[in-house]
Amino acid sequence: MHPHKQKPEACPKHAAELLPRISHRRIDPPAVTAQSGVVELLEGVFLSYNAGRLREACQILVQKMLADDAILGLSLSGALTPAGLGISCLVPLIEAGFVDWIISTGANLYHDTHFALGMDLHQSRPGLDDRELREHQVIRIYDIVFDYDNLLGTDRFYRTICRAEPFQRTLGTAEFHYLVGKYLDEREKQVGRPGRSFVAAAYRQGVPIFTSSPGDSSIGMNLAALQLEGSQLRIDPLRDVNQTAAIVWHATQQGRSGVWILGGGSPKNFMLQTEPQIQEVLGLTESGHDYFVQITDARPDTGGLSGATPSEAMTWGKVDPETLPDTVTCYLDTTVALPLMTAYALAKRPPRSPRRLIDRLPELTKKLEQAYAQRRSTRAD
């Protein structure tokens, strides 16, 4: 290179200038002992990689999402309840007032019902002889097994209660599950197994539970059969769109909105689409959810929704760009993360009074309707 074209040497920079700005703390964890508890492990030992992200998720959950001014929505994918996570985690979280509204797959709700009806599921192992299971009418969900009669009995339960007069009308899924929860609460008491169903717990605490795909579960299959009988029960998914948007509109107008996403799929999208519904479709001024915690084992580069990051969601208006530091994605199995997050939250935060949003859905939806009508009066579509 010609001497006069040589690049000038950059001024040397030192780590001491940058590290104080980017370091949270030195890595110097305490030794794990037989007495180490969940809080000590999460705060002192879960430092880096996905352990570090789980620590951050726990801290955002407790310090921000469970604050008095925040309304927390929880999305549940897959089938977590057969593994007992409804009993061990969801019921305690709901009873502590830590969950204000829920979007779940129908599978979680259907299998939750088994426990309320006094039916048993069993821990086993993967790799069983599935042909032998079929011959003995045993159902397998990975390493969970149970009697095929559980399905038949649960089907009978739904067909029986949904033939009753209270169900002979058009309902949103939250209203439908609230009615179901009343029956499950009664059945839990009858069989002597209280506290087994998170749907029953949500009924007691007034927590609305929505299903993003009401036809995609055994519950929907049984409702379809009742329709062939002449049942007047109709599920209105568009009512769900407006009611979920109304909850988020209320949360962001009165305080902050947090979303806690376990897995991905349709429940995740249905929870996050509330903000584009408010901003893009209804044309109301909003910035996005304030807090976003996601537990997923899906990668974002495969095109699947489950791994989509908070930053990507921000481009859609789903997450407020000013609050990106209050978002975290932890690439971890929900069955590992949820018990740890539940224990941490219960240890670090006193119970909250239930907001009973199920009772306020008509009121909140009316406020959204009024805001939309006012916007339309000032701007033609």
The pLDDT, as a whole number, for residue 6 is 61
Strands 122-123, 144-147: pairing kind: antiparallel
Helix (H, G, I), strand (E, B), or coil: what is residue 319?
Answer: strand
Cβ–Cβ under 8 Å, residues 261 and 295 = yes
The pLDDT, as a whole number, for residue 362 is 97
Cβ–Cβ under 8 Å, residues 339 and 89 = yes
> Which whole number is the average pLDDT over 330-355?
96
Beta strands in 47-165, from DSSP E residues, in sequence order: 70-76, 101-104, 122-123, 138-141, 144-147
Q: Considering only CA atoms, which of 214, 268, 290 is closest in space to residue 75?
A: 268
The pLDDT, as a whole number, for residue 278 is 95
Angstrom distance (rounded) from CA 267 to CA 177: 15
Per-residue pLDDT band at 92 (split at 50, 70, 90): very high
User: Could you state, in order of their start, the residue ranges of all structural domains in the chain?
Assistant: 53-378
Per-residue pLDDT band at 315 (split at 50, 70, 90): confident
Q: Considering only CA atoms, which of 181, 150, 170, 147 is closest in space to residue 223?
A: 170
The pLDDT, as a whole number, for residue 197 is 97
Q: Considering only CA atoms, which of 212, 247, 236, 211 is closest in space to residue 366?
A: 247
Residues 6+ apart with CB under 8 A from 106: 211, 213, 214, 216, 217, 218, 219, 220
Angstrom distance (rounded) from CA 8 to CA 14: 18
- For the stretch 231-290, pLDDT in tens is 999 999 999 999 999 999 999 999 999 999 999 889 999 999 999 999 999 999 988 889
Name the CATH superfamily, with its identifier, for domain 53-378: Deoxyhypusine synthase (3.40.910.10)
Angle at which helices 173-191 and 237-254 pack, to 10 degrees?
90
> Which whole number is the average pLDDT over 346-369?
97
Q: Considering 13, 268, 318, 367, which one is annotated as catalytic? A: 318
What is the CA angle 34-25-347, rounded to 5?
Answer: 45
The pLDDT, as a whole number, for residue 11 is 66
Beta strands in the chain, from DSSP E residues, in sequence order: 70-76, 101-104, 122-123, 138-141, 144-147, 170-171, 209-211, 234-235, 256-262, 291-296, 327-331
pLDDT exceeds cutoff 60 at 1: no
Q: Tokens 């760009």, residue?
A: 321
The pLDDT, as a whole number, for residue 55 is 96
Angstrom distance (rounded) from CA 282 to CA 108: 31
Half-sphere exposure of 87 (CA within 13 A, CB side): 17
Locate 60 and state its tokens: 């955002």
Per-residue pLDDT band at 29 (split at 50, 70, 90): very high
pLDDT exceeds cutoff 70 at 5: no
- For the stretch 183-229, pLDDT in tens is 999 999 999 989 999 999 999 999 999 999 999 999 999 999 999 99
Q: Which residues pair with 74 in a beta bridge?
A: 102, 260
Q: Is 182 labeled as catalytic in the residue annotation? A: no
The pLDDT, as a whole number, for residue 4 is 58
